[in-house]
Amino acid sequence: MEKKWWKESVVYQIYPKSFQDSNGDGIGDIPGIISRLDYLAELGADVLWLCPVYSSPNDDNGYDVSNYRDIMPEFGTLADIDLLIKKAHEKGLKIVMDLIVNHTSDENPWFIEARKSKDNPYHDYYIWKDGEKGVLPNNWESHFSGPAWEYVDELGQYYLHIFSKKQPDLNWENEKVRKEVVEICRFWLERGIDGFRMDTINFISKVPGFPSVPGKSGLVRGHDFYMNGPRVHEYLHGLYESVLKDYDIMTVGETPNVTPQIALQYVGEDRGELNMIFQFEHMLVDSYDGGKWNLIPMDLFRLKEIMSKWQKEMDGGWNSLFLNNHDQPRMVSRFGDDGKFRRESACMLATMLHTLKGTPYIYQGEELGMTNIALDSIDQYQDIQTINFYHDQLEKGIDPEKIMAKIHYRSRDNGRTPMQWSDEENAGFSSVTPWFGVNPNYKTINARQQMNDSNSIFHYYQKLIALRKKNPVVVYGDYKEYFEDSHQLYAYSRTLDDTCLFVFLNLTGSDADAAIPESLQLEDPSVYISNYGRETFTRSLKLAPYEAYVVIGKIRS
């Protein structure tokens, strides 16, 4: 297997709006990020992925870009981002930026032009359908509720928006659009960034004709017609050949709705497309029918099955490992226990992410075990998807309490509360009331407290990262699963040459008996990491709730 820096790295994801406010306006910003670089270096992160910082009217917090070559004034200036890149590099940290090119903002000059007339040179930058007002071109539902089409009276046409109506989809069939994207990439790469996280990148090719999902009434998710579409690989390979391949960078695509086999078409080492993708199969373990709001009870056995499947089937590709991000609930609240066993379960889940094969991603605050938030009223929420969902459900006659319960569990705002830096006012995030509510538990869950506590989740992450750097087996070792049928344990080994790492994770809040299989004999075995402070090697043991017990040794042949 080819050695690459991005395989050996740990990525830290920053949601700039909620990371650190530097100028007292309640909104996180780039100088704020610069002021926290030492913290990130101390944690051991190698790469910082910034959620979008481009000019944007913020209908979807920056995922609606109005100018790809400038910075949102709330976040700073181009000079600030240049300084961030420079300072980060000085500390050995790389910078990866979000690239949002499935759609733009409706306030992007391209769209402002495009909607002026059918013969405007920019009209064909977007996806239009002639039609009559009130007769939708097809039955696709937007990811943010309501139809995926918006009518423009002056043109007598609909435009496609898979996300909000302020996020019109770009028309990648148009070669000019593809060239624009190449130039945007080059602009940022020349500024010195180290890669891209490509937003909803498997949406860029739509099935010609935009067919309705057959046999369904009402609005439905039309993903089979716009995800992994007919020309997506041609487009991505083109982007790689035209610009990406000229730089030593990492690329990670956001691609819902993929199997490992489909994923390999994007990341296979001989494909010339992307380095990694984010797959979302494991983000659907607590819902049915692929719909994020169709909630069912969490099934951690299913989680383990999915994680393991991706380990086994991504042969010739590379996994990205994550359990939360800015679109998902907090990992410890969702997959662990954010009450009694918050520390233990957060560390156990972290152990999984940092010992499986792939590149681990940490979402800001995860390293502190930050938790979900449950706000009383919909008015306190900020996320467009959450707010639209609430009103859509209300219109459908659903009991508001039931809607709020779903929102508490699943809303993207769970992950967007301000970073908890200290127990000072506003969690040390800002000197004024922040743009979005601080989680009241910041008094006990915060970075300052954890940095002073050698037993904290922060220090556990720091140790996991440091160990990864010292032990190539964690990066390059082969994966093998044990006790596949166990509903309590997730057990696997990683082996590289004669070195073996053996991992036991107790996925549950009850004790679990565990023993390293007899077939595996280790010489000079020692404890690699333990979230219960175990220091001596033992073959068999009773794992405590959410215990992670990892050993390392040489294989005795």
Q: Which residues bind Ca ion (CB under 5 A)?
A: 21, 23, 25, 27, 29
Q: Is 254 a catalytic residue?
A: yes
Structure tokens at 360: 């681990």
Pairing of strands 47-50, 94-99: parallel
Sites of contact with ligand GLC (CB under 6 A): 60, 63, 100, 163, 199-200, 254, 326-327
Task: Look at residue 150 and give the partner it binds from ligand GLC, Ca ion, none, a contact being a CB closer than 5 to 8 Å depending on partner kind.
Answer: none
Rounded Cα gap, residues 160 and 148, in angstroms: 6
Closest CB to ligand GLC among residues 206, 326: 326
Closest CB to Ca ion among residues 23, 242: 23
Among the listed residues 74, 199, 327, 383, the single catalytic one is 199
Closest CB to Ca ion among residues 29, 344: 29
Number of residues assigned to the chain:
557
Task: Look at residue 21 and give the partner it binds from Ca ion, ligand GLC, none, a contact being a CB closer than 5 to 8 Å depending on partner kind.
Answer: Ca ion
Rounded Cα gap, residues 224 and 226, in angstroms: 6
Core vs surface per residue 178-200: b (16+ CB within 10 A) or e: bebbeebbeebbeeebbbbbbbb
- All residues at 6 or more sequence positions from 44 whose CB lies less than 8 Å from its CB, including other chains: 10, 461, 462, 465, 466, 469
Task: Look at residue 29 and give the partner it binds from Ca ion, ligand GLC, none, a contact being a CB closer than 5 to 8 Å depending on partner kind.
Answer: Ca ion
Of the candidates 130, 108, 110, 129, which has an alpha carbon nearest to the alpha carbon of residue 120? 110
Closest CB to Ca ion among residues 145, 430: 430
Task: Look at residue 100 and give the partner it binds from Ca ion, ligand GLC, none, a contact being a CB closer than 5 to 8 Å depending on partner kind.
Answer: ligand GLC
Closest CB to ligand GLC among residues 200, 351: 200
Closest CB to Ca ion among residues 21, 547: 21
CB of 533 to ligand GLC, least distance (A): 37
CB of 200 to ligand GLC, least distance (A): 5
**327-331 contacts: CB < 8 A, separation 24 or more?**
327/412, 327/415, 328/283, 328/412, 328/414, 328/415, 329/372, 329/409, 329/410, 329/411, 329/414, 329/415, 330/365, 330/366, 330/370, 330/371, 330/372, 330/414, 330/415, 331/363, 331/366
Amino acid found at 230? P
CB of 256 to ligand GLC, least distance (A): 8
Task: Look at residue 212 and give the partner it binds from ligand GLC, Ca ion, none, a contact being a CB closer than 5 to 8 Å depending on partner kind.
Answer: none
CB of 70 to Ca ion, least distance (A): 17
Residue number of the CB closest to Ca ion reads 29
CB of 21 to Ca ion, least distance (A): 4
Please give the C-alpha separations between residue 492 and each of 26, 345, 347, 520, 550, in angstroms, as whole numbers: 45, 18, 17, 12, 10
CB of 433 to Ca ion, least distance (A): 13
Rounded Cα gap, residues 521 and 118, in angstroms: 72
Task: Look at residue 390 and give the partner it binds from ligand GLC, Ca ion, none, a contact being a CB closer than 5 to 8 Å depending on partner kind.
Answer: none
Partner residues linked to 529 by β-bridges? 550
Among the listed residues 46, 60, 64, 254, the single catalytic one is 254
Residue number of the CB closest to ligand GLC reads 63
Task: List, by residue number, the catalytic residues.
Answer: 199, 254
